[in-house]
Amino acid sequence: MKSNHVPMPHLFLVSLLLSFSWSTLGDTHQPHDSFLQCLSRHPSNASSISSVIYTQNNSSFSSVFEFSVRNARFSTPTTPRPLVIVTPSHVSHIQATVNCSRSHGLQVRIRSGGHDYEGLSYVSQVPFVMIDLINLRFIDVDTENNTAWIQAGATIGEVYYRIAEKTETLAFPAGICPTVGVGGHFSGGGYGMLMRKYGLAADQIIDAELVDVNGKFLDRNSMGEDLFWAIRGGGGASFGVVVAWKVKLVPVPSTVTVFTVNRTLEENGTKLVHKWQSVAPKINEDLYIRLFLRGVNSSRTRTIQASFTSLYLGETDELLSLMQESFPELGIARQDCIEMSWIQSILYFAGIPQSEPLEILLNRTAAAIIFKGKSDYVTKPIPETVLEGLWKRFYEFERESMGLIFSPYGGNMDDIPESETPFSHRAGNLFSIHYGIVWGEEDVASSQRNINFMRRLYGYMEPYVSKSPRRAYMNYRDLDLGTNNNGIYTSYKQASRWGLPYFNNNFNRLIHVKSLVDPENFFRHEQSIPLLRR
């Protein structure tokens, strides 16, 4: 998926177009003026460069910025905005943006789908340029070799759709939210309903294309194995701008089976949740049973609902036999099970009605919500008494918009060494926990109240989750864990507060790779891989 460079005859036209559009910006002493002039002079720009640059004076600036904002906590009147947004349609646009940002003292933020939990792909406290990859989303599926090239601005939904266009018996092991961008999702690990069978999205990456700090366009061969290792779970934005991924596709049967059954506390919910912990991580790897917990209002009282939702790579009869053998207490019946194709299961788990056409997966629009998320990993079953204490916390906060997701590990995840990629959460983990809370009020007091509740809940769970370090999933980014300094250097002690929970024993290698490929720490943000002072 190599990119062609721009013919020289276009440069005069580019310079003319840019000088015309930028001369209307007004004050010529703005800090980004020299950056814009640098872009106009860059020797590798395509003639279309003027159409993919948005300054704050551009009438489309706000709509371009807001389109991929997924957490409305970071879309307020006081939220810092980029000085310039670049939506590259060609690799040369990225090269120019990196070179000119670096030479003119501006940081960059790189946005693929905009789902960063703390908004770090589109917000910064220092002057910055945002590279929005929305125009780079070409997907080339090769069913003969069971591979695909995927540009980093594509969404998971677009990937799934393009695979299904070609075949019903190939799939890809990534997440369930169709609007998530593959640039961040893959580079942070990326897990979904196929995780116990095939591992993570990052585990299937066999090549990549990236623009480095010097503006060089690299593939796996030219970037070297250290950098290729680092971007497959260590966060691509710490090392460069990932342009595209080449991935292996995985086989799935033409028929899969799904079910969702709900059980409340009055329906033996606590014991079922407790039993799930010893069943879901150890059951046949073709079966994935995820658990959602939330407070609901029953006919007379407030209670907790446990939703067991499952994907089985096979037909109903086989699934029922497995469930009867391993988890009969759940009482799964034939009428609970639905047979469908793998691509239809993507709609099912995304909460999209089966009546919708598959083209809905191509829809990138998603409403921004106000939320806070956290994560944990569990290595020993949580006792029933602790679960009962957890339910009391749900009652303390009587909102249906607060919930927990338990995602089982085991299966293939146990077989992949911790050091294979920077994603370190492998053997020894029973399941991960995702904590999420959503609220509607936009005022600061409401946000602080909800975030404080989440922190108290997280504190309650501390004795019952992983320790030394308490693990966390980088794609559920959480600045409560810690942040870097604003400057170039951060101490190991400071950075390890968040780095060890995300990467554990792989953190030191990531720091080493960072020092080799970005020795001046140009690609940095609050939780980027740090540069240590020598």
CA distances from 368 to 39, 49, 76, 445, 469 (A): 32, 29, 12, 19, 32
Tokens of 396: 């303390």
Percent helix, strand and coil across the chain, each to the nearest 5: 40, 20, 40
What angle do helix axes 507-517 and 492-503 make, rounded to 10 degrees? 120
Secondary structure (3-state) at 70: coil
The active-site residue out of 160, 435, 476, 502 is 476
119, amino acid identity? G
- Beta pairing, strands 256-264 & 338-340: antiparallel
Is 476 considered catalytic here? yes
How would you label 343-366 residue by residue, b for 16+ Cβ within 10 Å and e otherwise? bbbbbbbbebeeeeebeebeebeb
Cα distance between residue 9 and residue 24, in whole Å: 25
β-partners of residue 489 are: 531
Query: Which DSSP letter does residue 56 get?
Result: T
In three-state secondary structure terms, 20 is helix
What are the catalytic residues? 476
